[in-house]
């Protein structure tokens, strides 16, 4: 864990991570095996981070690839045709929309990490990160969807915007981390994600958010074509 970091930042982030997993679970028909797999995935990366595994940044290939590459592959796997049929049957789009509320506490955590010199300003809403907009609008969009007062087209646009924003800050976060291909924030690089529990941001929260956007977009496109 990060020394001298206010405890409320750790607690808020852990709560956000747990909430993300819970909302994922209930938005997708309570898939016990999948959710258990996510929990085990979190434990594995947490153990590695607690032992300083990801703090070694000069290895080739970069150790952080163990976070990014499997996450990307799992997102792709979760969008295959077989999984799409499961999504159409199980997805509760109201809950999957409310899931994006977690982006508000995550943004508060990122601000706390910046103020404690663990990530660059560009990763916060004071810099290039506008992802908090999705967290603020999620309960509004979710409520409108619950009351059936929002069109599929408007919901589709909202999801596309959300996907762009989270992908944009993910790329900026990777390019500002202490990795061989770092491009930004050399004076205050993105070091926070190599520590527990913040490694779970790129390992768990962001992949779930991206996959939820992508799968909701696919579902909405399918429904529009019917």
With beta carbons less than 8 A apart as the criterion, state whether 195 and 49 touch: yes
Confirm whether 42 is domain-assigned. yes
What's the confidence (pLDDT) of residue 200?
Answer: 97
Distances in whole angstroms, Cα of residue 80 to Cα of each of 27, 37, 74, 106: 18, 18, 10, 29
Peptide bond into 173 cis (omega under 30): no
Residue 2 forms part of a structural domain: no
For residues 144 and 218, give the distance between their C-alpha atoms in angstroms, rounded to a whole number. Answer: 20
pLDDT band for 225, please (50, 70, 90 cuts). low
* Token couple for 53: 């595994």
* Residue 20 near residue 116 (C-beta atoms within 8 A): no
Could you give the CA distance from residue 13 to residue 6 in angstroms, rounded to a whole number?
Answer: 12
Q: Is there a domain that residue 13 lies in?
A: yes
In a domain, 69, yes or no: yes
Three-state helix/strand/coil letters over 172-217: HHHHCECCCCCCCCCCCCECHHHCCCCCHHHHHHHHHHHHHHHHHH
User: Model's pTM, two decimal places?
Assistant: 0.95
* pLDDT (0 to 100) of residue 226: 58
Does 109 score more than 90 pLDDT? yes
Residue 177: beta bridge partners? 190
Number of domains in the chain: 1
- Domain carrying residue 178: 7-225
Is residue 165 a part of any domain in this protein?
A: yes
| C-alpha to C-alpha distances, 226 to 41, 219, 223, nearest whole angstrom | 37, 11, 5
pLDDT for res 58: 80
**Strand partners for 190:** 177
| pLDDT average, residue stretch 122-126 | 91
- 127-180 per-position pLDDT tens digit: 889 999 999 999 999 999 999 999 999 999 999 999 999 999 999 998 998 877
169-219 pLDDT per residue, tens: 999 998 998 877 778 778 889 899 999 999 999 999 999 999 999 999 999
**Residue 209, domain member (yes or no):** yes
pLDDT of residue 181: 75
**Residue 1 resides in a domain:** no
Task: Judge whether residue 2 has pLDDT over 80.
Answer: yes
Residue 213: inside a domain = yes
58-107 tens-digit pLDDT: 888 889 999 999 999 999 998 988 888 888 888 999 999 999 999 999 99
């Amino acid at each position: 864990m990060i020394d001298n970091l206010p405890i409320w930042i750790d607690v808020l982030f852990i709560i956000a991570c747990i909430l993300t997993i819970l909302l994922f679970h209930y938005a997708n028909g309570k898939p016990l095996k999948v959710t258990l797999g996510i929990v085990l995935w979190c434990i594995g990366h947490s153990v590695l981070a607690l032992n300083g595994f990801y703090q070694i940044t000069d290895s080739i290939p970069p150790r952080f690839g163990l976070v990014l590459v499997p996450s990307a592959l799992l997102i792709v796997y979760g969008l295959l045709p077989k999984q799409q049929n499961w999504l159409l049957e199980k997805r509760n789009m109201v809950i999957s929309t409310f899931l994006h509320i977690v982006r508000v506490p995550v943004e508060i955590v990122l601000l706390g990490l910046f103020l404690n010199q663990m990530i660059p300003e560009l990763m916060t809403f004071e810099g290039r990160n506008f992802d908090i907009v999705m967290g603020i609008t999620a309960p509004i969009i979710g409520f409108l969807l619950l009351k059936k007062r929002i069109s599929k087209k408007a919901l589709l646009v909202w999801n596309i915007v959300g996907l762009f924003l989270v992908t944009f800050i993910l790329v900026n976060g990777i390019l500002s981390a202490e990795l061989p291909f770092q491009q930004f924030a050399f004076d205050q690089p993105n070091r926070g994600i190599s520590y527990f529990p913040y490694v779970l941001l790129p390992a768990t929260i962001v992949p779930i958010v991206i996959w939820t956007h992508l799968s909701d977009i696919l579902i909405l496109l399918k429904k529009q074509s019917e």
